[in-house]
Structure 1
Amino acid sequence: MTTDLALLTTAATQWDAAAKDFETVQKAYNSQVRNVGIDEQWQGVARTFAQIANTRTYEQYSAAATEARAIASLLRDAHGQFVELRAKVKSAIADAAKEDMKIDDNGKATWTKRDDPGVKNDPDAATSIPKAEASWTQHIADIVQQFDDADQGVKLALAAATQDSDPNDGITNGFNAKAEGDIEKVEAHEASRLAGVKDPDDKQRAEMMRLMRDNKDKVEFSQTFLADLGPDKAIDYANRLRGQAKGDHKKDYEQLQNGLATTISTATRDPKSPFYEKWRKDLREAGAKNYGSNTSPMYGYQSFVEMMKHGGGYGKQFLSDIGDDIIAAEKKHPSIWNKISGHKDVPNDPLDGLLSIMGKQPDAATSFLDPGADGKNDHLKYLLKDRDWPKWSAVGMAGVKNFDDPTSQLGFGAALEAAATGNVPGTKHVLGGHTEAEARVMHDTINTLNEGHKIGKVHANLRAPLGHMLVDYTSDTHRILAQSEPLYVHAAKEEGTGNVWKAADGNARMAVHPADLARVMREVAEDPAAYAAMYNAERQFAADTMTQTPFGNTEKRLHTIRDASTAFGFYDGVSADLVYDKRDAAIQWARDVSHAVTATSGAALNFIPAEVAKDVAMPKGVKVGADGLNRMVDFAMYDWTKEQIAHANEAAGQDTRRAYYAGQMQVDNLVTEWARRNGHTDLDEPLVMNIIGGAKDKHFMSREQALFALNRNH
């Protein structure tokens, strides 16, 4: 910590001066020694050997100058790294001091207030203090490790720079005519050498781990390392690491897998770099190459994408380009990804694997799946309608038989959800607030699934993601189903139409025809939990809309109630159709839905305020608190779940799809609570009697509309 690092730059200046001195002496040697006898007056064997020796000496001066300048460059590089890392250590120590942590000379953290009376009486202190101290000690140790890694890198680079570049030229311990002045490049060359060692010893493995750890975010290292290997050797290296990660040094090899994936991410973030296009071109060839056997093939893209899962933060363009190249490969070689046998640790569908990576990077997923304002990007349509998804194949006496892959489209589902919502699946976020690109993905997903005004069977692994997407778009689906707002009605007058536009609050909106939406809702309803999530979101949105509507304004109050009744009519139509189809399993489905609805409070859902309130635009991303909206969703859930099961029981025994009206009862319950919170506690009061169930005709009509759309689908 007290070393004078400026000595490194002083030494670098002296090495630069040495390089100039070598060049000066070289000129003198060339004119006064080497050129002697070149006028052909000196003949014979002695002259021949003298010229060879003179040329080699002349070249050594050049090599010496090159080596000196490389050392100067390395010393300046080392100075920059050490100054930055020392500042990092000092900053960490200062941050620790702000939290009353003292760091000793060995890097150990100790809390300075251990002996305070209040601490001694704190029952949690016995565990919380050691935990905090250990955390700071580890933080300091991590930075010190970075310092040591950098120091080892400088040592490696200096040693490499002083190696004789031509040990066979007859000069012992000659200078290095190829000396490299960039530490990262030197380390990259060493890493590529070690990557070729099939069974590394402990020292080699530790050095490879250090190289990857020290250079994980350095573009120069990553691109040089990968350029040295090329995609073919990189895939071969990935295959070996995957196998070695099951042995005695599993954690080490897992770390190396992470390192390899990180170098891919770092090296490919700039699609305009000279490295990028050549790497992509070579990867196209390696991606379609079989690294397995004829009976148990494993293609390059399968292994490459599996390795990519160990990293993250990939560039949007890189993910999109790899997606395009995988699609091109499977179109050129149909059934190439069908799994025959073996390779249980490598999924057969690289495109679905790539999509799963995009699911963790919503901006990349949106970019890949967004049809665009001009509709020219066909990725979404290809995946939803046109792609022949890979199968599992078994070879028997009767020939090859194909089976569905149970993991099929899991990655697509994740990417689709991320693309439409702008959020990583499974993360908590405010609902709504979409970009136009995200809204186009949602809009075109619904319309593409409804091609020909009839929806085919949606893959089981897509139902939950579709349900989550619809939850996120509840502010739109509520208005689509309500059919009362002109913007939504006029945007989708006919099935298969619709539009995406930017609203005054800066958020995008999307509209589709209610019949198209109902058919997608019906497919989602096959998954009780996904359907329950949609239902919960609709209940919450309807309740929030009521609480933001002036109760005393008769016209607005009636409009709000009718919208809710109409929306729930569609939900009841979907429920009735599903229960009728399931018959024997209808009761269990209703119980599953009810359990899923009650398992999570509707009040846990947050919508962007501007998408709830129709009269007040609020900033995007502002959360709605339960207290602020006086939320009233959970007060009558038991009654609703009981009615849900009762209606399922009734509908299952009838030859009709018209028995469901639980949704209207839900609206009545919400309205009753709304009235009560506005001072109308007497259910027999004429006003209350008038508004409760006052929109039953809207509920009936929308339920019939949904059933008509769904009956056409049978």
Structure 2
Amino acid sequence: MTPSSDLESEGKDARSGLGLLLESGTTGHTPLGPNQDPWPATPHTEGQARIMHDVIGGIGPDQSVHENMREPLARALATYTADTHEILAGLDSKYISAAGAGYFQDGDKTHMAVSQKDLVQFMRGLSEDPEAYGTLHKAESRYIDLSLEQIPKEAQGPDVTNPINKAGTALGVMSSIREDVINDGRMAGYSEADWKAKLAYHVIGGAVTPMYFTTAGGVSLAFGDAIQRGVDTWAWEWGNRMKGEVDAKVNPQIADEYLEVNNQLPIMIREWAKDRPEIQESFIQDYSRDVLEGRNRSTETAHKYLTDTTN
């Protein structure tokens, strides 16, 4: 007779293997290793997008993901941040219309589509692991940085305010998920302080080192600080504060402070504006207000989808 502990161990090993298999199947590259962060705008094939759609739709409604699968699935989802950013914003009708099919083509690009509800609930299930949550948060922050850099210098009106509002919306959902995890009280065996501290070190450690992703041809590419100024500035400020505080009880408080949307994004926006001397101070503050409007909209959306998972 097989001892129950052996069966439990086999089950965990099987789920670990399944998680890695799904990471590979949805991204097209081998599972990432230590110090390798997912690239948030990775190209995908139709087949990969379909698998990701099915994983989200199959697991999302339970708002629960097996502990051995959280990190590989978070890494997989992070490669779709260009799509999840738009899905969370809820403004692009192409994603809404294609949610059932699981994908759509836009020129030579394949986009994954899924319902906003399933996505938020899937992210909630992943986020009981602070490192999985950190992976999603880093990817979203990095994609926001990229989207800001892609705004033409002569852009005005909605060409500027829409990307900024979407940034507030996406990180607002992340904030609501974080609050839901903490308020749930289980956090996969972590105490609230441990969860926050582990998240903090995970985000900071990745944000100040190069990012790596593997192309479809198997080539590993690294992206340095040049395109990550906003993320790095925010992360360095946070990291320096944490290094200056030796009290373990203080670091989780710093994590709370720096993960607040109305603290993180104004730092990123101000850093982005440094290369655009034509942007006046009053506009920088207007853009920060757009961030908060996006956050308010997303908080309402996320709370609608996040249900009590304590039972």
TM-score, normalised via structure 2 length:
0.81
Q: Confirm or deny: 8 A CA contact 2:75 2:136 kept in the other structure.
A: yes
Higher relative contact order (CA 8 A, sep 6+): 2
One-letter code aligned to 1:478: H
Q: Confirm or deny: 8 A CA contact 2:103 2:112 kept in the other structure.
A: yes
Q: Matches of residues 175-324 of structure 1 in structure 2 within 5 Å?
A: none
Corresponding position of 1:664: 262
Q: CA RMSD in A?
A: 3.4
State the Cα distance separating 1:677 from its structure 2 match.
2.1
Rounded to whole Å, the distance in 2 between the matches of 1:699 and 1:574 is 13
One-letter code aligned to 1:665: N
Corresponding position of 2:176: 573
Corresponding position of 1:484: 91
Q: Does the C-alpha gap of structure 1 residues 591 and 545 become closer, same or farther in structure 2, counting only changes over 3 Å?
A: same
Q: Does the C-alpha gap of structure 1 residues 627 and 461 become closer, same or farther in structure 2, counting only changes over 3 Å?
A: closer
Q: Does the C-alpha gap of structure 1 residues 588 and 665 become closer, same or farther in structure 2, counting only changes over 3 Å?
A: same
State the Cα distance separating 1:708 from its structure 2 match.
2.0
Corresponding position of 1:499: 102
Q: Does the C-alpha gap of structure 1 residues 519 and 417 become closer, same or farther in structure 2, counting only changes over 3 Å?
A: same
Rounded to whole Å, the distance in 2 between the matches of 1:461 and 1:678 is 45
Q: Does the C-alpha gap of structure 1 residues 665 and 649 become closer, same or farther in structure 2, counting only changes over 3 Å?
A: closer
State the Cα distance separating 1:499 from its structure 2 match.
2.4
Corresponding position of 1:110: none
Q: Confirm or deny: 8 A CA contact 1:680 1:688 kept in the other structure.
A: no
Rounded to whole Å, the distance in 2 between the matches of 1:553 and 1:449 is 40
Corresponding position of 1:518: 120
Render the CA deviation track for 1:607-636: whole Å, top value 9, x for unaligned. 899xxxxxxxxxxx8968547747432012
Q: Matches of residues 25-40 of structure 1 in structure 2 within 5 Å?
A: none
Q: Does the C-alpha gap of structure 1 residues 392 and 622 become closer, same or farther in structure 2, counting only changes over 3 Å?
A: closer
Corresponding position of 1:465: 72
In structure 1, the gaps of 5 or more residues are 1-294, 296-339, 342-390, 394-401, 610-620, 651-659
Tell me which structure has the larger Cα radius of gyration: 1
State the Cα distance separating 1:587 from its structure 2 match.
1.9
Query: Are residue 410 (structure 1) and residue 16 (structure 2) matched?
Result: yes
Q: Matches of residues 39-58 of structure 1 in structure 2 within 5 Å?
A: none
Q: Does the C-alpha gap of structure 1 residues 585 and 630 become closer, same or farther in structure 2, counting only changes over 3 Å?
A: closer
Q: Give the match's secondary structure for 1:552.
A: coil
One-letter code aligned to 2:200: S
State the Cα distance separating 1:571 from its structure 2 match.
0.2
Rounded to whole Å, the distance in 2 between the matches of 1:403 and 1:626 is 42
| Aligned residues between the structures | 291
Corresponding position of 2:139: 537
Query: Are residue 604 (structure 1) and residue 210 (structure 2) matched?
Result: yes
Q: Confirm or deny: 8 A CA contact 1:430 1:606 kept in the other structure.
A: yes
Q: Give the match's secondary structure for 1:678.
A: coil
Q: Give the match's secondary structure for 1:409.
A: helix
Corresponding position of 1:98: none
Q: Matches of residues 106-185 of structure 1 in structure 2 within 5 Å?
A: none
Q: Matches of residues 373-392 of structure 1 in structure 2 within 5 Å?
A: 392=5
Render the CA deviation track for 1:439-491: whole Å, top value 9, x for unaligned. 111000000113xxx31532111111111111111111111112222211332
Corresponding position of 2:196: 590
Rounded to whole Å, the distance in 2 between the matches of 1:606 and 1:486 is 31
Which residue, out of 238, 252, 258, partners 1:645?
A: 252
Rounded to whole Å, the distance in 1 between the matches of 2:71 and 2:20 is 10
In structure 2, the gaps of 5 or more residues are 242-249
Query: Are residue 419 (structure 1) and residue 32 (structure 2) matched?
Result: no
Rounded to whole Å, the distance in 1 between the matches of 2:214 and 2:168 is 22
State the Cα distance separating 1:673 from its structure 2 match.
0.8
Which residue, out of 249, 273, 277, partners 1:675?
A: 273
Rounded to whole Å, the distance in 1 between the matches of 2:238 and 2:173 is 17
Rounded to whole Å, the distance in 1 between the matches of 2:167 and 2:288 is 12
Q: Give the match's secondary structure for 2:191.
A: helix
State the Cα distance separating 1:691 from its structure 2 match.
1.6
Q: Give the match's secondary structure for 1:549.
A: coil
Rounded to whole Å, the distance in 2 between the matches of 1:477 and 1:630 is 20
Rounded to whole Å, the distance in 1 between the matches of 2:39 and 2:160 is 26
Q: Confirm or deny: 8 A CA contact 1:447 1:516 kept in the other structure.
A: yes
Q: Confirm or deny: 8 A CA contact 1:479 1:563 kept in the other structure.
A: yes
Rounded to whole Å, the distance in 2 between the matches of 1:403 and 1:630 is 42
Corresponding position of 1:164: none
One-letter code aligned to 1:482: A
Q: Confirm or deny: 8 A CA contact 1:433 1:608 kept in the other structure.
A: no
TM-score, normalised via structure 1 length:
0.37
Corresponding position of 1:698: 294
Rounded to whole Å, the distance in 2 between the matches of 1:455 and 1:577 is 14
Render the CA deviation track for 1:644-700: whole Å, top value 9, x for unaligned. 9338779xxxxxxxxx97133222111111112212697xx3222222232312201
Q: Confirm or deny: 8 A CA contact 1:562 1:695 kept in the other structure.
A: yes
Render the CA deviation track for 1:284-341: whole Å, top value 9, x for unaligned. xxxxxxxxxxx5xxxxxxxxxxxxxxxxxxxxxxxxxxxxxxxxxxxxxxxxxxxx16
State the Cα distance separating 1:713 from its structure 2 match.
5.1
Q: Give the match's secondary structure for 1:598.
A: helix
